[in-house]
Every structure is written in C-alpha cells, then in structure tokens.
Amino acid sequence: MTSETLPVLPFSRPHISEEAIAAVGAVLRSGWITSGPKTQAFEAALSEWCGGRPVRCFNSGTCTMEIALRIAGIGPGDEVITTPISWVATANVILEVGATPVFVDIDPRSRNLDLDQVEAAITPRTKALLPVYLAGLPVDMGRLYDIARRHQLRVVEDAAQALGSHWDGQHIGAIGDMVSFSFQANKNLTTAEGGCLVLNNAEEARLAEKYRLQGVTRGGYDQIDCDVLGGKYNMTDVAAVIGLDQIGQLDAINAHRARLAQHYYDCFGADFTEKTGAVLPLPAFGQSNWHLFQLELPSHIERAAFMQRMLDEFKIFLGFHYAPIHLFSLYRARGFHAGMFPHAERYGRQNVSLPMFNTLDTAGVERTVAAIKQILCA
Ligand SMILES: *Cc1c(COP(=O)(O)O)cnc(C)c1O
C-alpha cells in the first residue's frame, strides 16, 4: 500500500464487543437506564478484582479522586503531594477541595513521582500523597506506604491508567489506601466515561455513596435526608454493562498489550537509544498493564514537527501524555514556573505516545517503528 491508501493509525481506539453492544441495547429496553442492578454487578466484579475490598463506581475518574480527598477530610490549609506529569485532573481535584497541590519532580526512568524527593517536600500541613501510575507502571508501593506510615499521611492512588497492573504479584487496587481508576474511552477497560474508587471499609463506602448522589440517604418508603454536600456523580447502567463485558476480558486484553509492548522492544532493538538518543519506557513486564507505550524524543527533535511528519508521511497519529501541569496558566498564577522540575519539563516537552490499543496488531507496531527509525536515523 502507498501512504495515500494506508488507513490512519491512531495511538488509541476503543473496542466495544458485539456482546457489549447487545447488553447496552437490553439495558435501554429494560425500563431502568440509570444506576441500578448493572452498576451494582459491575461494582461486585471490580471488588472481586480488588481482593474483596469495597468498590464504588462514578461517572468519571476525576470525580472519583475528588471524592477520595473529601472522604479523607482534606480541605483548605492542607497540602497534597503529587506529580507534574499527569492529566491535569490529578492536580485540579486538589484545588477543587480547597487544598494546596505540592509538586515534586519525576524519576526520569520510571517517569513517575520521584519518591526520593517526596520526603523532603513533606511539611506539617501535608495530609496526603497522590501518586500517578503513568502508562500503567506503579511506583514502588513498599516505599510509598512506608513514607505514608511514618508521616501519617493518607494516600489516594491515581491508578486511572493502571487497571490490571501489578505490584508484588497483586492487582493494583487489591492493596493500598484509596485507589482510583478511570474508564474513560482510551483506558484499557472503558465504559465510555466512568471511574471507580477502592475503599477501606463500609463507612468510607457509605460516604462515597453520599458524595456521588447529592449527600442523600434514603430509608423505608419515604425516609430521606441530606447531611453532606454531595454532587451528581453516579454511573449509569448503560455504562456499567460495557464495563461488565470488558472486565471479563481484561486479562486477555492486558496480555495482548504486553505482547505488543514486547514487540515494540524487539523491533526497536537493543541499540535504538544508543543510535538515536530516544528513550524507551522501562521494560516493566509483570508490573505494567501497558496502558501507553511512550518514547522520550532526543532534545534536538522538535516534537510538533515529529508528530506532523509521522502523520503526513506515515499516517500515524501520535499522542503525548502529558504537558507538565505546573506550567499551565492556572498553576503559573499560583506561583509555579519553568525550571522548578527539570525532568518533568524535559519529559513533558519530548514525550510521544505510540499506538497502543486493544485491537492493535503486530503489523501496526512494525509500521510505527519503521516510520520512527526513518525519521530519527535519517
Ligand atoms: C484518564 C485519567 C484521569 C481522568 O479520568 P477521567 O475518567 O477522564 O475523569 C486522571 N488521571 C490520569 C492519570 C488519567 O489517565
């Protein structure tokens, strides 16, 4: 095929099975389309995935983290330590509850929050850590929870990208404090939009239920009260049946993604970094769910021009995840500026996300690697 006839290869594309489409149709015909039995069944399946811990579903991964912070009692005057390399939601939820985001730089190899720098950032006002598992790679959970224990901090894990990732042989979500997942369209498991929060006990689960539905509790036929300020964050049964279909396939989905990741390493070859200066992700097989496969371009390559050539000449559409949060206007206005987190700023400028999705095949990987080599090795 010439490049004119090649289909555009995106970096991500949702896959919805015919069974899920039929299940959505059945919900739409059932007379019960909002939160109901399907959402409860999805919560039960997620709880089983997370070792029996309580799980509640929401309509986004963003509100899930905000509610986790509210459950932890975090508000004005409190500091929360997080990473500048994430979707902006990670820091926005800290502002949303009235607390102060405190960034520390990333570890340039894992591209996650540098735990060596976390302890130095802790002050008497620090109340929580909010690590992100970028591309599905968890941080060192032993060290994370050792720091949290010694300083009596809560942890809200932004595991939005890490459903099916592992630490020490256990699913992310089966261990830890509060753990937030997202089911947005690009994630390994999607409900179009949605999220869930893994909690510690029944009391936290009850609070999560209140925060997601206007703070209301009901009893009997007509008993109703509202005792906390909640919002409207519930998941619909239309979304939940898509998730129920996908969770049954998640192991197979993630195994496929791991095979694609391995194929990327094989095609790039052991001397790729030496030859080009581009940096591949850590080969964290056994931990990562390979949500993304990200390349850090060498500093002499301008990312926008690289992305443009990949699209124009090879019809490959790349993403980037992410721009450093502290350099957005909202955060600059709060005193953050360039130069504060050099690893995050370099990575934020030079990262690209290569095609990685459930229906990608090895030919797509080969086409991508060949294109990148043509540009970088020229
Ligand atoms: C997707 C994502 C979110 C937000 O999840 P939504 O469901 O889109 O609200 C937050 N953090 C990270 C790291 C994400 O990848």
Res 291 pLDDT > 70? yes
The reply to whether ligand 1 has any atom less than 6 angstroms from the CB of 191 is: no
Element (H, E) at 70: helix 61-71
pLDDT of 2: 55
The reply to whether ligand 1 has any atom less than 6 angstroms from the CB of 184 is: yes
Which tokens sit at 194? 């949605």
Q: Read off φ and ψ for residue 21, nearest 5 degrees.
A: -65, -40
Q: Tell me the H-state helices in 102-236.
A: 115-121, 141-151, 202-212
Res 140 pLDDT > 90? yes
Strand pairing report for 79-82 and 55-58 = unpaired
Domain with CATH 3.90.1150.10 in the chain: 250-376
187 a catalytic residue? yes
Res 40 pLDDT > 60? yes
| For ligand 1, atom 6: residue with the closest CA | 61
Atom number, ligand 1, closest to the C-alpha of residue 63: 9
pLDDT in tens, 11-34: 999 999 999 999 999 999 999 999
From residue 93, give the alpha-carbon distance in Å to each of 112, 187, 228.
19, 20, 18
| For ligand 1, atom 7: residue with the closest CA | 61
The reply to whether ligand 1 has any atom less than 6 angstroms from the CB of 86 is: yes
pLDDT in tens, 326-374: 999 999 999 999 999 999 999 999 999 999 999 999 999 999 999 999 9
Burial class (CB in 10 A: 0-12, 13-18, 19+), 57: buried
Residue 9, SS3? strand
The reply to whether ligand 1 has any atom less than 6 angstroms from the CB of 182 is: yes
CB atoms within 10 A of CB 217: 14
Contact 17, 137 (CB under 8 A): no
Lowest mean pLDDT among 5-9, 88-92, 250-254: 5-9
Terminal CA-to-CA distance of the chain, rounded, Å? 22
Which tokens sit at 86? 């994430």
Contact 352, 319 (CB under 8 A): yes
5 pLDDT tier (thresholds 50, 70, 90): confident
CATH 3.90.1150.10 correct for 250-376: yes
CB atoms within 10 A of CB 29: 8
- Identified catalytic residue from 187, 232, 275, 373: 187
Contact 72, 307 (CB under 8 A): no
Q: Read off φ and ψ for residue 6, nearest 5 degrees.
A: -65, 135
Res 289 pLDDT > 60? yes
User: What single letter denotes the amino acid at residue 310?
Assistant: M
Q: What is the mean pLDDT of residues 238-246?
A: 98
The reply to whether ligand 1 has any atom less than 6 angstroms from the CB of 85 is: no
Atom number, ligand 1, closest to the C-alpha of residue 184: 7
Domain with CATH 3.40.640.10 in the chain: 18-247
From residue 119, give the alpha-carbon distance in Å to each of 182, 228, 247.
28, 33, 36
From residue 33, give the alpha-carbon distance in Å to each of 28, 81, 237, 292.
6, 39, 6, 32
| CATH C-level class of 18-247 | alpha beta
Q: Read off φ and ψ for residue 56, nearest 5 degrees.
A: -125, 140
pLDDT of 174: 98
The CA distance from 216 to 290, in Å, is 39
Atom number, ligand 1, closest to the C-alpha of residue 62: 9
